[in-house]
Amino acid sequence: MQAITVRDRNAGLAGMSLTDMPYPHSAENDVIVRVHAAGFTPGELDWPATWTDRAGRDRTPSVPGHELSGVVAELGYGTERTYSATAPAPDPTWWSVGSSSRPFRLLGRVAGMVAARLSRRVGAGFQLSGRGLVGTARPGAMTPGRMGRGPGQKRTLRSTPNPASVRTGNLVNVAEQARDKNGSRLTERGRATQERILRAAADMMYVKGVSLTTLDEVRAASGTSKSQLYRHYPDKDALVRDVVALQAAELLERQHQLLQRLSSLRGLERWRNAIIEHNALRNGAYGCPLGSLASELADQDEEARQAIARHFDTWEGLLEAGLVRMKDSGVLRADADAGELATGLMAALQGGYLLAQTARDVKPMRIALDMAIGHVKAYAVPAEDANPPEGGTRGR
């Protein structure tokens, strides 16, 4: 990739140069951001007109002052709040960004009066589409000291979550842009081969489990040779990591579609019904695609465990965002803890998956989710408090 390096901030374009930078090695669930270029003076700043989050709140990007900077305009699933970013000494290139519950680090790549050609690196489950400059968060990806911002100074990043759908028709993109072991881009045939391997492995591991799925079985099911298989996946661990990424991407996309507009108790019940109906197609067999992987890998593969934990956190964040909207709109009382309620719903869901898988019956899942939703309803604003006073008008 290439980035703008500023040698002299007072020299304008003459003080800038386009520098080759090594590609950062991004893992699944890296934070994906869209960065818009900013300039040296307020007149050179070119912000999007407005950004509104899922709760309808304004998240227009803003940066105090006029230092050279990039402004975050998109984050991954579940990130919808205003974050305060502080450049830690002695490396002002990096900003610590996050809430108390979901901290992460964001790489602010430099862009000035000329556009920086940033690498498009897609982390699993967070594929974004559309125009703009796209980058990833990853420690050590850039040389320190490029932002020209003093240590400890703060800037506020306001952003809207706008994850586009994961293109499941092109599975290689789920595990990042496809590259072979030498770092060069795969051909169309190579991408198709990797897609076949990944899909065959995901299907087999979901039905048989990770431990009982062998590379020879994956090779036979995908119709590939040993050399093709080992070119894309030199060992089973590498394949398992991409399977985790793929299963999470597909599951989170479905959940995003179900939960992106959640704002009522009836909507929560529709979410419950959709999950139960989908699980009933197999009489509860095989369980949750992500939970099944967690039960096998959590004590065997620490990297996979951490990735799965992040995916669950993302999923729970979608539920929490919907519950926050319900609080903001007056459906739930102000004392309802959206985070704790979301955790309760997720625990009931995963326990329901396990019991339904064991019983080959979705009834335990229905009971568990009904009890969890009943707990949410305990925080509902009474109808008489929600209704307008006599003679008043009723909102839509």
SS3 call for 352? helix
Could you tell me whether strands 32-37 and 133-136 are parallel, antiparallel, or unpaired per DSSP bridges?
A: antiparallel
What pLDDT is recorded for position 360?
94
What is the CATH superfamily name and number for domain 260-396?
A: Tetracycline Repressor, domain 2 (1.10.357.10)
Identical fold, 165-246 and 260-396? no
Structural contact between residues 285 and 200, judged by C-beta atoms closer than 8 angstroms: no
- Asked if 344 and 377 touch (Cβ cutoff 8 Å), the reply is no
Q: What is the CATH number of domain 165-246?
A: 1.10.10.60
pLDDT band at 286 (very low <50, low <70, confident <90, very high): confident
Tens of pLDDT, residue by residue over 3-37, are 445 556 566 556 655 555 443 333 333 333 333 33
**Per-residue pLDDT tens over the stretch 33-62:** 333 333 323 333 333 333 343 445 444 433
Question: pLDDT for 62-95, tens place per residue?
Answer: 333 322 233 333 333 333 222 223 323 222 232 2
Instruction: Give mean pLDDT, residues 347-363.
Output: 95
Identify which has the larger pLDDT, 106 or 365: 365
User: What is the arithmetic mean of pLDDT over 255-275?
Assistant: 93
Domain boundaries, the chain: 2-161, 165-246, 260-396
pTM of the full structure: 0.55
Instruction: Tell me the pLDDT of the chain averaged across its residues.
Output: 63
The rounded Cα 76 to chain-centroid distance in angstroms is 4
The Cα 285–Cα 229 span in angstroms is 29
Asked if 381 contacts 331 with a C-beta cutoff of 8 angstroms, the reply is yes
